[in-house]
Structure 1
Amino acid sequence: MLHLRPRGSHWLPDPVRRALTFWRRSIQARVVASTVLLSMAVIGIVGWYLLQQTRDGLLDHRVDAVVAEANDETAEARVRLEAAPGTDADVASQQRDLVEPIIQAGDTRGFAVVLAGPTGGGGRISDGGANFTQGLDTSSVPLDLEKHFDREAPTAWTYTTIRSTDAAGVTTERPGIVVGSQVLLPADAQTYTLYYLFPLDEQEETMALVTRALLTAAVLLVVLVAGMTWLVTRQVVTPIRMARQVAERLAAGQLQERLRVSGEDDLARLATSFNQMASNLQRQIRQLEELSRVQRRFVSDVSHELRTPLTTVRMAGDVLHDARRDFDPATARAAELLQTELDRFETLLADLLEISRFDAGAAVLELDDLNLVDVAHRVVDATRPLAAQRGVEIVVDAPDHPCLAEADVRRIERVVRNLVTNAIDHTGTDRAGGDIVVAVAGDDHAAAITVRDYGVGLAPGEAAMVFNRFWRADPARARTSGGTGLGLSISLEDTHLHGGWLQAWGRPGEGAQFRLTLPRRAGAVLRHSPLALVPSDVTEPVT
């Protein structure tokens, strides 16, 4: 089985989704987070620089101190060697006399000593024979430094790792500095090298203390920066949030809402300007409401006043139309034209009143279970005589089972009738196979009707304009059905009132197709249509 991951962030846990929503909606959170991250980066760079400078300073100071101390110890050793009697030819004894005082001094002052040599023999400390501080691992002296003193050389130093073993047999490793200095042993007139190994324990403790202090200061500084940023952004964001809330209430129709103004800063001036804008909007909306009320009353009054003379004219027209056979041909034709235009005028008046109800928001639905298959057949049967005049056949393509939807029967029949008569108006009589096809389909969520004609079609961009009031695709074409130019506009309003779709497709020379889609249940949200908008008999151009 194929498992698809849900689209969007719906697959995330609720706390994560809430956090992401809060992050997207809160400018204060983003500003605070950005400031904290930048502060951490700056503090990290500055802290690293300070630690490097502190470390280098401590090490430089320590190197100067240990080199001076090693030189002092070497100078004292040379003094002792010069004071030794010339008859002393015991090399081993003289080496012990040389190194033991230094080892004793190192035990009290915290450094270790290795005496190696003589130079020039190619031997190494690891070969044995060296005198050194008890417990010291002679590998603590780097090989590179040993090679440096394979011949006579001045005092030199390097960093190393001091390894030692205590009385309990525990081996420890500590960073340190090793300083090498040479002395001449009178017993054999050979040059020997004294290696002084100084640990860096104090420097390590100092660096640890400085690091802890810097970390503590960095944490406190980041917290302080975050707090100050939060306070500063709150002073700016709070008025913005208040303005958003007031704007939402204004949008909901509470036109009397205003911002509270305090102070004379930029935000206070912004609140003042916002209140002035709200007052102007309230005044203009009230003017528009009054104008709309006057317009509705005017339309109502005009319609009422027009109906009486129209009824009188209609009665007179009916009398003339019934007696037209007794008139001469010109008068009889005038009576027929008068009857036709009276019918169109009555239809136009009814359409204008209907449009005015939509504009005033007074249109209401009378919902009932509606079978779109029956609606299609009724409309087609009613418009067949008009289609016959144009030489057009109307075909209904509907399933045997009902396609039900909760809708206003009168309004939906009016929509379908407008679509069919519009198709008749725009279908030519000289086109082969120019039947009008009315298709009906439905599913569990929606029901739809399409009206397909093979007339003049629609040019690019006209599919969106066809529902405009009094718009005509071809101004030179006569309205065979006696339409008023408001039918498709009223149909679109009727469809929106049901929460449905009314869409158009067309191509010049290939006709047009209109699709009405309604939800099966009133108030449901449409997501698809059971019928395609583009006809299946249309070949899409290759691009």
Structure 2
Amino acid sequence: MNRWRAFGLRTRLLLAFALVSVVTATGVAGLGYVRARDAIVQRAQDNAVIELTNAVEQLYPLSAGPETAADLERIAGRVSGRDEAARAESSGISGGGMESWVPSPELRATVAQGRVAWQRVDLSGTTVLVIGTQLWLTTSGEAHPSGITVFVGRTLTDESNAIGELARDAWLTGGAGFLLALILALLAAYSVLRPVRELRAAARRLGEGDLDARLEVRGGDELAAVAQTFNTTAESLQRHVGELRRMEADSRRFVADVSHELRTPLAAMTAVTDMLDAEAGEFPEVAGEAVRLVSRETHNLARLVDDLIEVTRFDAGTAALAVDDVDLAEAIRATLRLRGFSDVTGDLPAGVHARVDPRRLDVIVANLVGNALRHGAPPVAVRLAEEGGGILVEVTDHGPGLPDPVLPHVFSRFYKADTARGRSEGSGLGLAIAWENARLHGGTLTAGNRPEGGAVFTLWLPRDPEGGAAWVNGS
């Protein structure tokens, strides 16, 4: 069954039609051939028996007394017809032809019982019908055997030729029926598979995002019902996807509007809190701590708003690269120095250049190193290398690593591995923004665990995103 299913639907239909046609043609032609053959042979036997009976009746009345070979020769000559040979026997004497057609003992025994009997024998490839009968004498109104037995042999050449022609016609009829069945199978396969191919093409288009994909409904059979069901499902999907897209667009617009509206008052609040933070030492201890708390949370809120604005640019497709020829080792050192990441070791060989957006590269490295310092354990290391026609940046730590349930979601927005924490320093957007920036360059950003322990984040960027086919400018 599994081997049968390995064939395509077209092949299975053709094989099924071919099998049915072969069985049907063989059965019909074979049955017709057998019945016609038997009828031809039976008719030949009946005619031969009738002819022999009529010829024997012409011999009566027979004379009583012993028969000589000449008498038997005369009798055999009178009962033999065209294409026949005859033999008469009496008391061990025989006369006539048919020397090579010696009757079999079974036929002699049947004829000796007073019956007309016949038998088909094959002599050197020729079928011969041998018929035997006794001659009778009538004495005092009673019939009794005369002791003379007559055998007639008749070749069935004409009948064999007719049967051969019949067999040839049967084969020709079967072959024609087989070819006709194959043609019908091809037409049936085409009519059945055409809607299936159209359904497959429409389903592929629908899967690729073409929500306008529809099928033409033809007729009222089961395939038409399938096409109608597909169209109904596609319409429902298009309606729901449109609604989801509208809701998503409204949500993005709301986040963008709120973020931009918050930026202006946050800028003023940040300036005030910076000024208060500078003078926090002159306030009482409790008031100074409150001022520092307000200043810290205001800066966190400002970073969150900036991250949200950046995310909305990615979603809207307005994020773009401003590439420049950058010394990557120097750019990474500048990022570590600017963020105060003094506990980070680096394997940063000189002379590695690529065309990247310096600001976005700074965001990627800062987010990866900051995440390693917050959630991993020292030492944290950054490695720069050239690989696969591009550049490779690895950030590793010696912490507990990333649990398996976390790995698929590590670059998801607002995802935090430790759900028990009410809040943390991070917004949950840093790694998502780093991944988007890597994608914008036409590169990749992946996360995993080192065999010796600790997490590893691997960034790969092409040397020239603008010149490469993988460069993406938008969502």
Smaller-chain TM-score bracket: 0.7 to 0.9
| DSSP 3-state at the match of 1:106 | coil
Instruction: Report the counterpart of residue 206 of structure 1 in structure 2.
Output: 166
Give me the whole-angstrom Cα distance separating, in 2, the residues matched to 1:396 and 1:363. Answer: 30
| C-alpha contact (below 8 Å) 2:76/2:88 kept by paired residues | no
Instruction: Report the counterpart of residue 311 of structure 2 in structure 1.
Output: 355
1:330 and 2:280 are equivalent in the alignment: no
Call closer, same or farther: CA 1:202–1:447 in 2, change over 3 Å.
Answer: same
> 1:199-223 CA deviation, whole Å, 9 max, x = no partner?
3212322343354345435544654
Instruction: Report the counterpart of residue 406 of structure 2 in structure 1.
Output: 462
User: After the TM superposition, which parts of structure 1 deviate over 6 Å for at least 4 consecutive aligned residues?
Assistant: 116-120, 188-192, 257-266, 477-480
Call closer, same or farther: CA 1:485–1:40 in 2, change over 3 Å.
Answer: closer
| DSSP 3-state at the match of 1:421 | helix
What is the one-letter code of the residue matched to 1:285?
A: G
| C-alpha contact (below 8 Å) 2:49/2:131 kept by paired residues | no
1:181 and 2:135 are equivalent in the alignment: no
Give me the whole-angstrom Cα distance separating, in 2, the residues matched to 1:356 and 1:408. Answer: 19
Give me the whole-angstrom Cα distance separating, in 2, the residues matched to 1:38 and 1:258. Answer: 32
Give me the whole-angstrom Cα distance separating, in 1, the residues matched to 2:392 and 2:274. Answer: 40
| C-alpha contact (below 8 Å) 1:259/1:274 kept by paired residues | yes
* Aligned-residue offset at 1:280: 8.5
Call closer, same or farther: CA 1:451–1:232 in 2, change over 3 Å.
Answer: closer
> Which one of 346, 362, 369 corresponds to residue 396 of structure 1?
346
* Aligned-residue offset at 1:335: 3.4
Instruction: Report the counterpart of residue 38 of structure 1 in structure 2.
Output: 16
1:308 and 2:264 are equivalent in the alignment: yes
What is the one-letter code of the residue matched to 1:181?
A: G
* Aligned-residue offset at 1:424: 1.0
Instruction: Report the counterpart of residue 416 of structure 1 in structure 2.
Output: 365
> 1:260-286 CA deviation, whole Å, 9 max, x = no partner?
889999959976994796499469737
Instruction: Report the counterpart of residue 44 of structure 2 in structure 1.
Output: 66
Instruction: Report the counterpart of residue 530 of structure 1 in structure 2.
Output: none
Give me the whole-angstrom Cα distance separating, in 1, the residues matched to 2:218 and 2:17. Answer: 33
1:485 and 2:436 are equivalent in the alignment: no
Call closer, same or farther: CA 1:252–1:76 in 2, change over 3 Å.
Answer: closer
What is the one-letter code of the residue matched to 1:216?
A: A
* Greater shift in the superposed pair: 366-375 or 338-347: 366-375
| C-alpha contact (below 8 Å) 2:17/2:185 kept by paired residues | yes
| C-alpha contact (below 8 Å) 1:498/1:518 kept by paired residues | yes
* Aligned-residue offset at 1:508: 12
Name the TM-score, length of structure 1 as normaliser.
0.64
Call closer, same or farther: CA 1:520–1:102 in 2, change over 3 Å.
Answer: farther
| DSSP 3-state at the match of 2:156 | strand
Alignment of 1:226-305 (within 5 A): 226-227=186-187, 230=190, 244=202, 251-252=209-210, 267=224, 274=231, 278=235, 281=238, 285=242, 288-289=245-246, 295=251, 298-305=254-261
Give me the whole-angstrom Cα distance separating, in 1, the residues matched to 2:91 and 2:436. Answer: 109
* Aligned-residue offset at 1:504: 1.9
Give me the whole-angstrom Cα distance separating, in 2, the residues matched to 1:406 and 1:180. Answer: 110
Give me the whole-angstrom Cα distance separating, in 2, the residues matched to 1:117 and 1:69. Answer: 23
1:512 and 2:470 are equivalent in the alignment: no
* Aligned-residue offset at 1:460: 2.4
Call closer, same or farther: CA 1:370–1:74 in 2, change over 3 Å.
Answer: farther
> 1:143-202 CA deviation, whole Å, 9 max, x = no partner?
9x8464575667343464x65xxxxxxxxx56x46345366899x978675443313212
Call closer, same or farther: CA 1:366–1:440 in 2, change over 3 Å.
Answer: same
Call closer, same or farther: CA 1:223–1:185 in 2, change over 3 Å.
Answer: same
Call closer, same or farther: CA 1:198–1:411 in 2, change over 3 Å.
Answer: same
* Aligned-residue offset at 1:436: 2.2
| DSSP 3-state at the match of 1:451 | strand
| C-alpha contact (below 8 Å) 2:202/2:214 kept by paired residues | no
> Which one of 196, 200, 213 corresponds to residue 154 of structure 2?
196
Instruction: Report the counterpart of residue 32 of structure 2 in structure 1.
Output: 54
1:319 and 2:272 are equivalent in the alignment: no
- The answer for unaligned runs of 5 or more in structure 2 is 1-6, 138-145
Give me the whole-angstrom Cα distance separating, in 1, the residues matched to 2:233 and 2:403. Answer: 46
Call closer, same or farther: CA 1:454–1:99 in 2, change over 3 Å.
Answer: farther
Name the TM-score, length of structure 2 as normaliser.
0.72
Alignment of 1:421-460 (within 5 A): 421-428=370-377, 434-460=378-404
| C-alpha contact (below 8 Å) 2:214/2:230 kept by paired residues | no
* Aligned-residue offset at 1:367: 3.9
**RMSD, aligned CA:** 5.0
| C-alpha contact (below 8 Å) 1:455/1:511 kept by paired residues | yes
Q: How many residues align?
A: 446
* Aligned-residue offset at 1:352: 1.0
Instruction: Report the counterpart of residue 500 of structure 1 in structure 2.
Output: 443
What is the one-letter code of the residue matched to 1:50?
A: V
Give me the whole-angstrom Cα distance separating, in 1, the residues matched to 2:230 and 2:67. Answer: 106
Give me the whole-angstrom Cα distance separating, in 2, the residues matched to 1:380 and 1:517. Answer: 19
- The answer for unaligned runs of 5 or more in structure 1 is 1-22, 25-29, 121-128, 164-172, 389-393, 429-433, 527-543
Instruction: Report the counterpart of residue 125 of structure 1 in structure 2.
Output: none
Give me the whole-angstrom Cα distance separating, in 2, the residues matched to 1:489 and 1:207. Answer: 81
* Aligned-residue offset at 1:452: 1.9
* Aligned-residue offset at 1:70: 3.7
1:106 and 2:86 are equivalent in the alignment: no
Percent identity at matched positions?
Answer: 26
Instruction: Report the counterpart of residue 431 of structure 1 in structure 2.
Output: none
| C-alpha contact (below 8 Å) 1:246/1:259 kept by paired residues | no
| C-alpha contact (below 8 Å) 2:130/2:154 kept by paired residues | yes
Give me the whole-angstrom Cα distance separating, in 1, the residues matched to 2:391 and 2:61. Answer: 118
* Aligned-residue offset at 1:292: 5.5
Call closer, same or farther: CA 1:459–1:177 in 2, change over 3 Å.
Answer: farther
| C-alpha contact (below 8 Å) 1:470/1:484 kept by paired residues | yes
